[in-house]
Chains A and B, each alone.
Chain A
Amino acid sequence: MSGQIQIRNMLVDDLPTALNTLLATGGRMQMAYAWFCDGQPRVCYLAAPGAGQAFECWSVAVPSGGLPSLASIAPLLGWYEREIQDLVGIVFRNHPEPNPLVLERGEHTPPLLPGAKGVVMTTAPHALPEVEGEDIQELDFGPVRADVVESAQFRFFYIGERILRYQPRLFLKHRGMERRFQGLTTEAGVVVAERVSATASLAHALAYCQAIEDAAGCEPPPRALVWRCLLAELERIYNHLHYFGHLADATTLKVGQAQGRWLEEQTKQLLAHVCGSRLPMNLLTPGGLRRDLQLPDDFAGQLAALEKETRYYLDMLSDTSSYIDRLQATGVLSQQVAFDKGATGPIERASGLDRDLRRDHPYADYVMLAPEVALRDAGDALARAEVRVEELRHSFTLVERAVGRLKPGEVCSTCVPRPDSFGLGWAESPRGSLFYAIYLDQQTRLARVKIKSPSYSNWRVFPFTVHDSNMMDYAINEASFGLSVAGCDR
């Protein structure tokens, strides 16, 4: 465990004061999760005091009566508490939204309790608000929706064009990936991490490997660190290009959609040339890379051509008034809601929250690559798109800088995990902050892996931009968030 995280054992009664102090001094909560220490349940609240300061794990033993809910102080904790209750069975008292979130609660043993048997479980029922009034209509949408999209279910309460309330039901795709890690060796765990959310496969592998390296106290060689950033930025490029293709589609700009998809395809084909996989997978391992990679001979030329085409494409989009008009003032997310509900990545940066793990808690080679952080205040769909425009342009620069820093050398150092150890790893994925907290057992096998994915945070926020908006804007607003369902559901 490195100096980048401190463990503070705390008493339950001290939690509200500590949390209030953290928020008053500009810090924030990242996540909460439960694990078992010598068979006894504990809950860890991961606090981020601020840029450059060590993360803090506030660890509390769970008394028999459960824990008080902290969701009224830090609303973003609400979902974590409900998930802990569903998966581990710990009760949170006085929770403002006490319904199950992930799984149906019932007779079965919660799946993350030690010794839970292999019962097949179902998703929590749709928790619908009580909406009363004349002329209110209900629309149930999904889980099977038009086109090729991920499965999720939505309920709209609306009058005419006006949406009064919007309630998504997620976790239909909950695959129990956190439990899937348990009992695996640290090397084998990477393969699972890559398949938690494949459109951020590299970010997941990276955060996971860094957590293991934190627990083992090892450091990958410089060449591996540079490669990790290079691949992570290529992953961001294809994801952001996909985003613009999708956004152009939502605003019925057909040529714009085709061009976005074509540029995304070129990036994926470039990735296949570089690393043997269109979605960068099967590359990382604790300690570095699984094998050395070589840039194709014409890489610089291909990248420059792609960058030129991308810039031209982004300029054309910003010159299109019909596209800009549809984004402006659509789905406004205020800075307060973004902070309270825990928005992350381009979403929070479009609402004026200046945070980026690559700069604030640098990992791999990012200290040397010096990433710039794009920021907007408006909080509407246009601001979310503009943040991604800047990030996309800047990612090309970061790839070029990384290529310049790629020196010959080893790509993997020995990484021997320690028994009974803990590690935390993080990465700024294309969609925002991603955390892996891992606990190893005495045989150095994975005992508990907790994943905080960016889409879990952003799906929590998204409905607040839909309530009291227009049906016409819904598809555009959803596209402007660029959410992944798999990442949220895990």
Chain B
Amino acid sequence: MKKAGIIMILGSLLLLGLFKFPLWNIMLGAPQYPEPLGMNIYIEGIKGVQEFDLQNIDGLNHYIGMKTIPKAEDMWEFSVFPKVIIAMVILGVVIGLLGYLKKVSYKYFLGWFLLMSVLGILGMYDFNNWLIDYGSNLDPHAIIKVTNPDGTPMSYKPPLLGFQKLLNFDVTSLPHIGGYLMFVGMSLTLVAFGLGRKTSLKKTTQ
């Protein structure tokens, strides 16, 4: 159980990577952009991959009437997400520590994982809602209006995960270092749960 507790603590601490590294990354390449433009999505806001990428994405998007990329202060998510992550880290470390000291059951590790998963899915759902709004809530006076074959206005929603072609742009959306660290961290808490379960089962059979 000692080992499981340590892994639980480590796994939770990996979430701190989200304060240093982007959670997600969206790259936009086009014939005119052999070096693609890109945005890194941090839990505290959106930044360009290169210094002027956000400005240049906004500049191009004005033709199709998309809103500018929100500043950190324009979205409640960017103030709430960091607090949630910090809370989860503290919770995870505390559970891990108590587990280490054998004060709580390994089942708490699973509890933390499930809570984090629910929060993560909610976060993704919220992020996807923003992408939908960003890609389809267009200025009616847009310079270029493109419609689908059925006559409805084309949506420029970037994919939540994976690749999509949007007009001349190839858009790729993937987790970034912070996101991967979070996934590894969450997986470690599952490992901690498994390990905790094994040691406690061993004890009962003895």
| A and B associate in one complex | no
Interface residues, chain A, with chain B CB atoms under 8 Å away:
none
Q: Which B residues are within 8 Å of any A CB, using their own CB?
A: none
